[in-house]
Amino acid sequence: MKDSNITSITKRSIYLLFFILITYSYTATAQSEITITNFLKSIKESNQVKMDSNTVTLLKDYNYNLPIIKNVQFRTETSDLILDRQEYTLRVKPNSLRAISKQKKTYQNKIEEIIIKNQLKFNEELKRRYLLLVDYYFTDKLIELNTEKHIQITDKLQVLSQSIFEINFDVKDLIEAEDELIETNLKLINLKESRINQLSLIKQALNIQSDSVKIIFNDLITPVEIIDKPIQDSISNEQLNITLQKLKLYVLENEMELTAAKSKQILEYVQARYGGKKNDLFDENFSLGFGINLPFFGDTRSRKGDYYIKILNEESKLASLTEKNDVMEKQVFKEFNEAKTNYQILKKQIDESSVLLILEAYKKMEGIPPLQLLRLKNLQNKKRIAVLKSEHLLYKSYINTLANLEILFQIPLRNYLSSSKELIDP
């Protein structure tokens, strides 16, 4: 009987263990693990990118050329309702060869303009994804350090509450500790809320519905690598927003020339006319005519004036944009250099600080007041938080600098958050 009970318990234990293993395996499988490179690569699967690509394809397939023949008219009229005297006229209106050429250039420039606008949107989204990953990574690290700080302050309050009746008790320490605990609680709430929002944006970008998503930060570039690897101050190609502005100018100039080409078209039409039968069979009433545009009339001059005003406006925008880009580039480099300097100073201070050495020494000694140890731990934690914040700014300014110089978007695309600069689109 006992053996039967033991066997039954053993079977139930095996089934329970098997169920736990299956559940754990399902949970591990259900969790989506995303690498930085995979997250950046997924931008090509986004709906907006696909829509922009389809739009350009449709525009390229569209027949935008002006036809050689503008239109063809067939006219007929009669005199005294006598069919033998019915007149027929065929009139053909051609387009000028120059107008056909200008139309082609104008349309091609407009397609290029749309392609560059789409590329700028793509670049902006790629930069946003980089910064989102950086923010998520450092928010997670800040939560860890502030959670540790919360534990230290709680321990400190417990020690202080036990020493209320001691002679050297200072109520100010208790008040400051309670205020610091409230501040840390609020900070943790805000940080956790930020992490939820950041993860939600990551899942939205990936089109993932799963609640369990883990971002893998393997091969993450180190602060030392960011600082030591120089970034070129300029790139050989002009920036896309400058190219776009120049294209707007080209489009206006071509449109103006297209309008001028149409207005200067000398041959308006060619027509053939049949005027009906005559008495003599061999004396049919055929005639050939053509229309000529005289260049002395029309509103071409006023339309040219409108185009000149638009062109001057776009040229002014180009000059302003070029100046703005130069100022922005200097500002971005200034912020990047400041971020590098601040990180190096704070990192050096924490590396050379005697707090850690004192803590290690105190741990080996007996009779050290616990409050003193907690104060040292809290001070060390504050230094680590300050270094982490400066590191966060370093990574953000690093990405902003690469984006401003458009190095971040150079083909082939690379993962600039990885030490190996892994290819995003091999």
Instruction: Give the tens place of pLDDT for each residue, 16-44.
Output: 444 444 444 444 444 578 889 988 888 87
Q: What are the pLDDT digits (tens) for 247-282?
A: 888 888 777 766 766 666 655 656 677 666 655 544
Q: For residue 409, is pLDDT > 80?
A: yes
Backbone angles phi, psi at 33, to 5 degrees: -100, 120
Residue with tokens 């893998």: 216
Domains and CATH numbers, the chain: 31-404 (1.20.1600.10)
- Count of CB atoms within 10 A of residue 124's CB? 12
Which of helix, strand or coil describes residue 272?
strand
The winner for highest mean pLDDT among 213-217, 409-413, 415-419 is 415-419
Range picked from 100-114, 127-141, 248-262, 293-307 for highest mean pLDDT: 127-141
How confident is the prediction for the chain on average, in pLDDT? Answer: 77
What's the distance, Cα to Cα, between the start and end of the chain in Å?
68
299 or 112, higher pLDDT: 112
Q: Any idea what the Cα angle at residue 278 is, between residues 273 and 281, rounded to 5°?
A: 105
The tokens describing 368, both together, are 């050290």
Residues 6+ apart with CB under 8 A from 414: 421, 422, 423, 424
Please answer whether residues 220 and 399 qualify as being in contact, where contact means their C-beta atoms are separated by less than 8 angstroms. Answer: no
| Percentage of residues of the chain with pLDDT beyond 70 | 65
∠ CA 99-103-107, nearest 5°, is 175
